[in-house]
Amino acid sequence: MTRLQVWTLLGLAAVIWLLVLLEPILMPFFVGLILAYLGDPLTDWLEARGLSRRLAVSVVFLVLSLVLIAGVLVLVPLLGRQLTQLIEALPAVFNWVQVSVLPWVRDVSGVDLSTDFESLRQTLMANWKETGTFAAGVLAKVSRSGLALAIWIGNLALIPVVTFYLLLDWDRIKAQVRDLLPRRFEPTVTRLAGDCDEVLSAFLRGQLLVMLSLGVVYAVGLTLAGIQFGVLIGLIAGLASIIPYLGVIVGLAIAALVAFFQYGDLVHLLAVAAVFAVGQMLEGMLLQPLLLGDKIGLHPVAVIFAVLAGGQLFGFTGILLALPVAAMIMVVLRDLHERYKNSRLYDAGERLPDDGDQS
């Protein structure tokens, strides 16, 4: 191993160690970085049409802010009402399971689950009832801690500030980083950065748009079909769609159970199936080819592992960065794989002697 490689590894280790130490304060900077990355293409498009960089950034920043505020104002009250309805409906659901499902399970399998289910029901109902008290207690505790409240508000306030200035200087930062690279490695790093940009675009722009579109399709379809909690189920299915097929499986299962319990007929079950079938057709024929193409290439198991590993190592910040980092690692591994396939090491082991060669 050369001295340069040793210093490179030591530098990477120092950066990771520093990130671990600074993790409690990094969240607003990483969120601002992601938002700036998402807004840069639109900013460049406006700038190419005659707007100054500062004016283009202001327009994009205003659009992002309005979309976020509108989403909060529309979704939060609606989801709050549906969560309240869900909590109120839980006792009836538990009673139906206890009266109808458990006797059928006992008759079919000979296993009596009534005692275990009753214990589970009491535990869940106690937790649901205590949710409001717990939330109020947490809020009161945070309010009493002036420093914690100030840090929390400060982190939220930093996000738009960091986003604005990163978006304003985005092209300049990229140029400066490229200029600092050793000339020997600059072409390779630039090529890998371009590949990473394609993958990250698919993740952060394409995948988010696919998830949002599927969530809207599912929510609107289930609501029109008369299914309770349609918006909540659509949101859950849309978020779960980050892993292929998980969104439709989770959403279809929950919606079918709600429809069966709400109506108890085949018509509404078919309506639920039709909603998710339409969503899958739109995803396969329109959304995936248009927004994602074949740029991602991460296996669903790798997606699950990346999210869990990021959360375990860096908490909420790690969850935010898990998929982008995994995508960049995939690009580097793909490049290393190509280098290995073209190396003398691979050629040396390409052909093993067979029986005919031994004679």
Is residue 326 domain-shared with residue 260, that is, in the same domain? Answer: no
CA nearest neighbour of 324 among 221, 206, 215, 234? 206
**Beta-carbon contacts of residue 155 (< 8 Å; ≥ 6 apart):** 25, 27, 28
In a domain, 100, yes or no: no
pTM for this entry = 0.68
Is residue 322 domain-shared with residue 255, that is, in the same domain? Answer: no
Is residue 284 domain-shared with residue 209, that is, in the same domain? Answer: yes
**Beta-carbon contacts of residue 258 (< 8 Å; ≥ 6 apart):** 227, 228, 229, 233
Is residue 286 domain-shared with residue 209, that is, in the same domain? Answer: yes
pLDDT of residue 138: 47
Contacts made by residues 123-128, CB under 8 angstroms, sequence distance 24+: 124/90, 124/94, 125/90, 125/91, 125/94, 128/87, 128/90
Mean pLDDT by 10 residues, the chain (359 residues): 72 78 77 84 89 90 84 78 75 73 74 68 59 48 57 79 88 86 81 81 78 91 89 88 82 88 84 92 82 64 79 73 79 83 72 51
Is residue 305 domain-shared with residue 251, that is, in the same domain? Answer: no
In a domain, 233, yes or no: yes
In a domain, 273, yes or no: yes
The encoded tokens of residue 252 equal: 């279809």
In a domain, 76, yes or no: no
In a domain, 5, yes or no: no
- Contact of 79 with 113, CB cutoff 8 Å: no
Using CA atoms, how far apart are residues 256 and 225, in angstroms rounded to an integer?
12
| Chain position carrying tokens 């659509």 | 234
Nearest-5° angle of CA 299, CA 301, CA 304? 115
Is residue 203 domain-shared with residue 290, that is, in the same domain? Answer: yes
- Contact of 259 with 268, CB cutoff 8 Å: yes
Is residue 284 domain-shared with residue 324, that is, in the same domain? Answer: no
274: containing domain: 198-295
pLDDT of residue 131: 47
In a domain, 301, yes or no: yes
For the chain, how many structural domains are there in total? Answer: 2
In a domain, 57, yes or no: no
Is residue 216 domain-shared with residue 302, that is, in the same domain? Answer: no
pLDDT of residue 288: 75
pLDDT of residue 221: 93
pLDDT of residue 296: 59
pLDDT of residue 321: 73
Is residue 282 domain-shared with residue 317, that is, in the same domain? Answer: no
DSSP string, 47-81: HHTT--HHHHHHHHHHHHHHHHHHHHHHHHHHHHH
In a domain, 191, yes or no: no
